[in-house]
Amino acid sequence: MTTKLDYRWHLREVMATRGMFSTTDLRPLLAERGIDLSASQIYRLVVERPERLSLTTLMALLDILQCRMEDLIEPVAARASGRKAAAAGGDSTAAGVGEYRPKRARITPAGE
Protein backbone atom coordinates (compact mmCIF):
# COMPACT_ATOMS: atom_id res chain seq x y z
CA MET A 1 0.00 0.00 0.00
CA THR A 2 1.33 3.45 -0.86
CA THR A 3 1.87 6.02 1.84
CA LYS A 4 -0.49 8.99 1.70
CA LEU A 5 1.21 12.34 1.95
CA ASP A 6 0.15 15.53 3.64
CA TYR A 7 1.99 18.78 4.24
CA ARG A 8 2.69 21.47 6.80
CA TRP A 9 2.48 25.12 5.79
CA HIS A 10 5.18 27.33 7.33
CA LEU A 11 4.43 30.76 5.84
CA ARG A 12 3.79 32.40 9.20
CA GLU A 13 7.06 31.08 10.66
CA VAL A 14 9.10 32.11 7.62
CA MET A 15 7.55 35.58 7.72
CA ALA A 16 8.45 35.90 11.41
CA THR A 17 12.08 34.99 10.75
CA ARG A 18 12.14 37.81 8.18
CA GLY A 19 10.69 40.32 10.66
CA MET A 20 7.21 40.31 9.13
CA PHE A 21 4.69 39.89 11.94
CA SER A 22 1.56 41.28 10.31
CA THR A 23 -0.38 39.78 7.43
CA THR A 24 -0.83 43.29 6.00
CA ASP A 25 2.94 43.43 5.37
CA LEU A 26 2.47 41.02 2.46
CA ARG A 27 -0.22 42.88 0.54
CA PRO A 28 1.93 45.66 -1.03
CA LEU A 29 4.77 43.22 -1.70
CA LEU A 30 2.45 40.85 -3.52
CA ALA A 31 0.88 43.76 -5.43
CA GLU A 32 4.36 44.80 -6.66
CA ARG A 33 4.58 41.36 -8.25
CA GLY A 34 1.14 41.51 -9.87
CA ILE A 35 -0.70 39.44 -7.24
CA ASP A 36 -3.85 41.24 -6.11
CA LEU A 37 -5.34 39.52 -3.06
CA SER A 38 -7.79 40.98 -0.56
CA ALA A 39 -6.78 41.44 3.06
CA SER A 40 -8.91 38.46 4.09
CA GLN A 41 -7.35 36.24 1.40
CA ILE A 42 -3.87 37.15 2.59
CA TYR A 43 -4.88 36.55 6.20
CA ARG A 44 -6.17 33.06 5.33
CA LEU A 45 -3.04 32.36 3.29
CA VAL A 46 -0.83 33.19 6.27
CA VAL A 47 -2.91 31.79 9.13
CA GLU A 48 -4.50 28.70 7.55
CA ARG A 49 -3.12 25.89 5.48
CA PRO A 50 -4.06 26.52 1.83
CA GLU A 51 -5.72 23.68 -0.06
CA ARG A 52 -5.12 25.40 -3.42
CA LEU A 53 -2.44 27.90 -4.28
CA SER A 54 -1.54 29.32 -7.66
CA LEU A 55 2.04 28.85 -8.75
CA THR A 56 2.39 32.58 -9.45
CA THR A 57 1.41 33.34 -5.84
CA LEU A 58 3.82 30.69 -4.58
CA MET A 59 6.65 32.08 -6.73
CA ALA A 60 5.88 35.61 -5.48
CA LEU A 61 6.03 34.41 -1.86
CA LEU A 62 9.36 32.68 -2.50
CA ASP A 63 10.71 35.88 -4.07
CA ILE A 64 9.39 38.15 -1.30
CA LEU A 65 10.70 35.96 1.51
CA GLN A 66 13.92 34.98 -0.28
CA CYS A 67 13.35 31.32 0.58
CA ARG A 68 12.92 27.97 -1.10
CA MET A 69 9.80 25.88 -1.48
CA GLU A 70 11.07 23.46 1.19
CA ASP A 71 11.02 26.33 3.68
CA LEU A 72 7.30 26.96 3.11
CA ILE A 73 5.96 23.48 2.43
CA GLU A 74 7.03 20.46 4.47
CA PRO A 75 5.81 17.08 3.20
CA VAL A 76 4.69 14.69 5.96
CA ALA A 77 3.00 11.30 6.07
CA ALA A 78 -0.75 11.59 6.51
CA ARG A 79 -2.24 10.32 9.74
CA ALA A 80 -4.76 7.52 9.60
CA SER A 81 -8.14 8.43 10.99
CA GLY A 82 -8.96 6.94 14.40
CA ARG A 83 -11.89 4.90 13.09
CA LYS A 84 -9.91 3.24 10.34
CA ALA A 85 -6.98 2.54 12.66
CA ALA A 86 -9.26 0.91 15.26
CA ALA A 87 -11.04 -1.13 12.60
CA ALA A 88 -7.70 -2.29 11.26
CA GLY A 89 -6.79 -3.79 14.62
CA GLY A 90 -5.38 -0.72 16.31
CA ASP A 91 -4.72 -0.57 20.05
CA SER A 92 -8.04 -0.95 21.86
CA THR A 93 -6.69 0.91 24.90
CA ALA A 94 -5.99 4.02 22.83
CA ALA A 95 -7.50 7.21 24.16
CA GLY A 96 -11.02 7.60 22.87
CA VAL A 97 -14.32 8.91 24.05
CA GLY A 98 -16.24 5.63 23.84
CA GLU A 99 -16.05 4.69 27.50
CA TYR A 100 -16.46 8.30 28.63
CA ARG A 101 -19.71 8.98 26.82
CA PRO A 102 -22.55 9.93 29.15
CA LYS A 103 -25.26 7.38 29.83
CA ARG A 104 -28.81 8.38 29.02
CA ALA A 105 -30.81 9.07 32.18
CA ARG A 106 -33.93 7.02 32.83
CA ILE A 107 -36.80 9.00 34.18
CA THR A 108 -39.37 7.02 36.10
CA PRO A 109 -42.56 8.29 37.74
CA ALA A 110 -42.16 9.15 41.44
CA GLY A 111 -44.60 6.46 42.58
CA GLU A 112 -42.72 3.50 41.12
- pLDDT, one tens digit per residue, over 20-29 is 999 999 999 9
| CA 34/CA 16 separation, integer angstroms | 23
Residue 75 has pLDDT above 60, yes or no: yes
| CA 40/CA 62 separation, integer angstroms | 20
Mean per-residue pLDDT of the chain: 83
The DSSP secondary-structure symbol of 78 reads: P
Please tell me the predicted confidence (pLDDT) of residue 105: 75
Tell me the average pLDDT across 13-39.
Answer: 94
Please tell me the predicted confidence (pLDDT) of residue 111: 67
pLDDT band for position 104 (cuts 50, 70, 90): confident
